[in-house]
Amino acid sequence: MFEFGRDLRKLFDKARESDDLGWLELIGADLVEAEARRETIDAGRVSCTRPFAGWMRASALWREHARRTGRRTSLERAGSSASDAARHATTPDQTAAAAIEAGEIHLLGFDLFGGPEKLTAALADVQSLTVEHPVTRSTAAALHARLTARRARLSGEPSAMLDAAALLDAALHGARGLTPVMGDDLRLDRAALSLEAGVARRDARLLDQAGRDLRALVESASPDYRPMTRARALSLAGAGLMALARLARNDAAAEQGRALFEAAADQFTPDHSPLDWVAVQLVQTPGQTPLALLAQAEALTREPGLVLGALARERRLATEVDLAEDVGDIAALFTLEKTVHQRLTARTSQPIDWASDQIGMARLAMAKGRLMGIEPRAIGLMLAEAMETARECGAPVLLERAMLALPEKVSP
């Protein structure tokens, strides 16, 4: 028994030294944070023999913790570690690798908190790199493709999305030197882009491409070793199937999509990866997630300016408004309105949070109007401002929620 325990520790210590951080999927967010702290301390020691590698590893660990929890401080620590790595670089290739890590942090910052300017800055940096080592060149190409895909999805322009898809294809073809984690991120991004473009254009070829990518990811990502990669692929497949089901008005396909969401949620617990768990809850069809789960999702995403947090709060409030209106509880609506108004007038509110609450105020005004028999005022203006803010922040999911809240006789 004791030999078995020692062998497991040896395997774990060996994994710690690997460049592939896929093993992190097996440990919870708290342990990821502990690993990041340990690596940061080790890299900062005067006795550290490989400070560049240590700081790069610390940055990757802090970045993973930020990806799971949405903590801004973890993202900042990742950036600080990447800067320390750059200071300890002794070769042009190491300098380029540190710059690529900084670009990865900008990309994650956009995913978590929005801000299209982060993508522009990161793209400019990665395009200016001079890289000689084949592996570093492949890593730079992968980052460039992923950044371009984010910008293309924001623009919604078919030509931009096709160009981004071609870059993702090229990066995947040259991905032999990449770690499995990087390869999986590329495939997830290509699948997301293909799904979005395929649904918008009714393009069977793009939808087939997305299906192949997601099937390959689900089959290769064992629930015992890569639960989060598997969950992300299942969730994306579920979202795609639900979108197609709505277009075709196919109840059977919608039921299959819901089954995929349930399978994704079963891969891990909320404390293992809070943001992944929240993302699975919020990607489901509005109105089908219980209020208790939405409240839990909101509690896990209270970091100011977090896109998922803003969406969780908007979805929870929309559900509470619907429930109060269904039973004719005007007092509950006034109580909710007071709470939202206090947040809207707070000077510390981030733009993305303000947009979320603006949508909530519009929903409350319309519900009160229906119950009290009065015509609410300035609903179109409220939602137009929310849409503009969401667009400026690069948060299309919140923009869509604002558009869905528009009454039929009001156009955006």
DSSP, collapsed to helix, strand or coil, labels residue 21 as helix
145 part of a folded domain: no
- Please give the Cα distance from 95 to 108 (Å, whole number): 20
Structural domain span for residue 367: 290-412
Asked if the structure places residue 167 within a domain, the reply is: no
pLDDT tens for 104-138 read 999 999 999 999 999 999 999 998 888 888 889 99
**Helical H segments across 249-378, by residue range:** 251-265, 274-283, 291-299, 307-326, 330-344, 351-372
Q: What is the pLDDT of residues 266-296, one digit of tens each?
A: 888 899 999 999 999 998 777 778 999 999 9
Asked if residue 352 belongs to a domain, the reply is yes
Segment of 18-27, 179-188, 243-252 carrying the highest mean pLDDT: 179-188
- Tell me, what's the pLDDT at 409? 60
Nearest C-alpha neighbor of 21 from the set 222, 216, 183: 183
Residue 103 lies in a domain: no
- The answer to whether residues 63 and 24 touch, using CB atoms and an 8 Å cutoff, is no
247 domain residue, yes or no: no
Task: Provide the number of structural domains found in the chain.
Answer: 1
Determine, yes or no, domain membership for 154: no
On whether the pTM is more than 0.85, the answer is yes
Q: Which of 199, 288, 284, 196 is nearest to 238 (CA)?
A: 284
Residue 77 maps to a domain: no
> Dihedrals φ, ψ of 266, to 5°?
-80, -5
Burial class (CB in 10 A: 0-12, 13-18, 19+), 4: exposed
User: What are the helix (H) ranges across 49-203?
Assistant: 51-69, 72-87, 92-113, 116-127, 134-155, 158-173, 180-201
Residue 107, judged by CB atoms within 10 A of its CB (0-12, 13-18, 19+), counts as buried
pLDDT mean across residues, the chain: 89
Phi, psi of 133 (to 5 degrees): -70, 130
For residues 314 and 320, what is the distance between their CA atoms, to the nearest angstrom? 10
Bigger pLDDT: 173 vs 412: 173
Predicted confidence at residue 262, as pLDDT, reads: 87
Which token pair is 411?
Answer: 């156009």
The answer to whether residue 300 is domain-embedded is: yes
Mean pLDDT for the stretch of residues 193-205: 84
